[in-house]
Amino acid sequence: MDNKIAVLTNTYHGFTLDEALNGIAAAGFRYVELAAVRGWTEHVSSDMTDAQIEEVKQKLASLGLTAIGMSGHCNLMEEERLDDFRKNIELASKLGCQYIISSTGEAHFGKGESFSDEILAKHLKDLVPELERYHMTMVLEVHGEYGTGESLYKVTRMVDSPHVAINYDTANVVFYGGKYPEEEIKCCVGDVKYVHLKDKAGEMKEWNFPGVGSGNLKLKKFMEYMDSEGYTGPYSIEIEYTEDFCMRDKKPEDLAVANKAVKDSYDYLKSIGRI
């Protein structure tokens, strides 16, 4: 139960980084995962100057926060995008992160392109030297076409590097994979080094991701299983609300909604002895 508990700043999609960090710290958390997703949530970016990066680090320090991971999604299926991801690895290192998170490029499926596990594994192997250089662990997120841990486990076994592992998203495996995390995790737990702790409400395919402890998933049981398997990596909370709330332009009063969801998540985890 010594796992670090972080909050992904994508929880504050549509809000500023300062608003995100202030809300996360006020809730009681000490760790964050920074969002660097181009065209979506760009709280940090590889285009930032060293001075801008230093400002972020000072803001984190002033709030008693430590960045342990960076969500730096790129389309890893396209070889020409690998250099973009290399820049994200460097950025994550400058921010003091140990983990960099990415999905696999599933947004480009179904457009006449044909990719395979083998091609993905080759591209990941090409990134290993940079991961080694920056002492970084890359974790592939359960998301989209790779919507189960089982599908990603096949790829990480092909890469066979301690620097490439799985980010197990507890709600995405339901939404994309149609499986429940407390059972599906058992086929891939050996390669899981990071967890997006995300709850799920509503129907399987319904975009409804409330605060942790407010949905239908058996997250306590999931974490107890991870304990039994010796998992010592982080849990990073992600809240994506309803699709309408997540996607629309934010209003000033919406910040209180996000802050409450984060605080409720903290209180839930504290109530079950995780914080």
For position 73, what pLDDT does the model report?
A: 87
* Range in 37-46, 170-179, 186-195, 205-214 with the lowest mean pLDDT: 37-46
**Proportion of the chain above pLDDT 90, given as a percent:** 88
For position 112, what pLDDT does the model report?
A: 46
Structural class in CATH, domain 5-271: alpha beta
74 or 255, higher pLDDT:
255
CA gap 121, 119 in Å, rounded: 5
**Proportion of the chain above pLDDT 70, given as a percent:** 96
- Res 210 pLDDT > 70: yes
- Res 77 pLDDT > 90: no
Give the mean model confidence (pLDDT) for residues 217-221: 98
CA dist 239 to 16, 31, 151, 177, Å? 16, 15, 24, 19
Give the mean model confidence (pLDDT) for residues 120-132: 96
Within its chain, how far is the Cα of 142 from the centroid?
9
- Res 239 pLDDT > 80: yes
- Res 26 pLDDT > 60: yes
The single-letter code of the amino acid at 200 is K
**pTM, whole model, 2 decimals?**
0.94
- Res 109 pLDDT > 50: no
Residue 176: strand, helix, or coil = coil
- Res 115 pLDDT > 80: no
Structure token digits, residue 12: 């504050």
- Res 110 pLDDT > 60: no
CB 234 within 8 A of CB 68: yes
Helix-strand-coil split of the chain, %, nearest 5: 45, 20, 40
Q: How confident is the model at residue 67 (pLDDT cuts 50, 70, 90)?
A: very high
